[in-house]
Chains A and B, each alone.
Chain A
Amino acid sequence: QQQVKQSPQSLIVQKGGISIINCAYENTAFDYFPWYQQFPGKGPALLIAIRPDVSEKKEGRFTISFNKSAKQFSLHIMDSQPGDSATYFCAAGRGSTLGRLYFGRGTQLTVWP
């Protein structure tokens, strides 16, 4: 059973627009929700993360919105730029452990100039 479901699989946005990627999780024990950004041929890099005690976290143009009751969280990229074109992965896990993260299947974002 897939622990984290991510949509859409691909997203095309015009420069300056807002990119929105959604994720849903199953396990209510999860308390750490990161987003990773991956460029072609590279490993993913941590972009931004949120804990369930807040509903929103913003870092520059990137914002995570979190809905604990719906078990959903989303990444918003404001003023999207061609340099944001990459694959984005959401993930979920139990933050206070040495265990594992469960990743979504990824969203390939293309920002047209």
Chain B
Amino acid sequence: DGGITQSPKYLFRKEGQNVTLSCEQNLNHDAMYWYRQDPGQGLRLIYYSQIVNDFQKGDIAEGYSVSREKKESFPLTVTSAQKNPTAFYLCASSKEVKRGYTFGSGTRLTVV
């Protein structure tokens, strides 16, 4: 079955360390997205990519970086520059917007 996989489900890091969250899809979707979810804030877009080797900043890109070297993969790095990184991170993919997004099950990052 096709789907989108995020790993790990839970991640703990010390303050000041960079951490990379994995997102892989086998749906043959062209577009991939990273969202951050905080209570009461909804889903805020960090970065998105419409094609391999290209990506665009979303609404809260500061302190994050991404790469899109393969169609199937869109890893997100949370850098030490991100002031408040503890959150639930969601990856999504889409063939085109009108077909909707498929979301992964998320990674909960806790920085201590």
Interfacial residues, chain A to chain B (CB-CB below 8 A): 6, 9, 31-32, 34, 36, 41-46, 49, 51, 89, 93-101, 103-106
Known: A41-B106, A43-B90, A43-B103. A97 touches B45 (CB 8 A): no
Q: Judging by beta carbons under 8 Å apart, are B100 and A105 in contact?
A: no
Q: Contact residue range for chain B?
A: 20 to 34
Q: Judging by beta carbons under 8 Å apart, are A98 and B97 in contact?
A: yes
Q: Judging by beta carbons under 8 Å apart, are B42 and A99 in contact?
A: no
Q: Judging by beta carbons under 8 Å apart, are A98 and B50 in contact?
A: yes
Q: Judging by beta carbons under 8 Å apart, are B98 and A9 in contact?
A: no
Tell me, in angstroms, the Cα distance from A42 to B43 when the chains sit together: 13
Distance of B73 from chain A, by nearest CB (Å): 17
Tell me, in angstroms, the Cα distance from A79 to B6 when the chains sit together: 34
Tell me, in angstroms, the Cα distance from A83 to B74 when the chains sit together: 33
Task: Kindly identify, within residues 20 to 75 of chain B, every residue whose CB is under 8 Å from any CB belonging to chain A.
Answer: 30-31, 33, 35, 40-43, 45, 48, 50-51, 58
Tell me, in angstroms, the Cα distance from A41 to B105 when the chains sit together: 7
